[in-house]
Amino acid sequence: MKKSILSITSSLLVCAAIGAFSSGAYAAEDAQTKDIVLDLVTVRPAGAPAVVQPSAPVGDAMVVSILVESPNGKLTPYPTNAVFNSGERFRVKVRASRDGKIALYNTKPTGELVAKPLWRGDVMRGMEVIAPRLRIEGASGTDQLHIVLEPAKEPGVFAWLGNWLGGKSKDIRLDTQNTESDTYLLGGTNKGLVTTLNITHR
């Protein structure tokens, strides 16, 4: 049986049907989540006032977009809960509320969370980071691609991610809001964030 492989490549072909959703907790109905996230990830000139009210929750925040590439090379952003068609090329774009590490991890259709990240890069507060193009191969089943803002002081990120995905972390507080082009995530300060794409192979 052919193993499922999710790898970074410069190839122009992505062989997959992607059903995407934001995971790890619940989807917030609060329309303020987007505004709070945007305020936290925006870099302002010194002395400029913050938009978030003092009573509003603050913490780690990130905006995630899936940039789908058309045949002519145009990139169109979608939220992580969008449904994608087989053969689409895409990249992952992230903006975060603090300096840190962004990583992409894969859970195979067998349920195995792969310890080595597919890609890992630095992110600076308010600055966009875009992952390389992904090539998705595999037998029928569902892969998961986890987009992670790593916690600020977590020595064992892989163990932390496993606890997050398994619902074992006591510190998880996650608000999520999706628009037509982005997914907005808000959690505890320096605790890290995760959103997941489901990648279905037919």
| pLDDT of 75 | 92
| Angstrom distance (rounded) from CA 21 to CA 69 | 19
| pLDDT of 134 | 81
Which amino acid type is present at position 53? Q
Distance of CA 65 to the CA centre of its chain: 8
Q: What pTM was estimated for this model as a whole?
A: 0.78
With CA atoms as reference, report the closest residue to 143 among 199, 79, 90, 98. Answer: 199
| pLDDT of 58 | 65
Break the chain into its structural domains and give their ranges: 5-42+59-201
- Three-state SS at 191: coil
- Asked if 202 and 86 count as a contact pair (C-beta separation under 8 A), the reply is yes
- Asked if 41 and 97 count as a contact pair (C-beta separation under 8 A), the reply is yes
DSSP element (H, E) containing 162: helix 157-165
| Long-range residue pairs from 73-79, CB within 8 A, at least 24 positions apart, any chain | 77/181, 77/182, 78/20, 78/180, 78/181, 79/20, 79/22, 79/178, 79/179, 79/180, 79/181, 79/182, 79/183
Angle, vertex CA 13, rays to CA 7 and CA 18, nearest 5:
70
Residue 2: count of CB within 10 angstroms of its CB:
9
Q: What is the pLDDT of residues 115-141, one digit of tens each?
A: 999 999 999 999 999 999 986 666 667
| pLDDT of 27 | 39
| Angstrom distance (rounded) from CA 172 to CA 192 | 9
In the predicted model, residues of the chain with pLDDT beneath 70 are 1-31, 45-58, 84-87, 135-140, 170-171, 201-202
| pLDDT of 94 | 97
| Long-range residue pairs from 163-166, CB within 8 A, at least 24 positions apart, any chain | 164/24, 164/192, 164/194, 165/23, 165/24, 165/107, 165/113, 165/194, 165/196
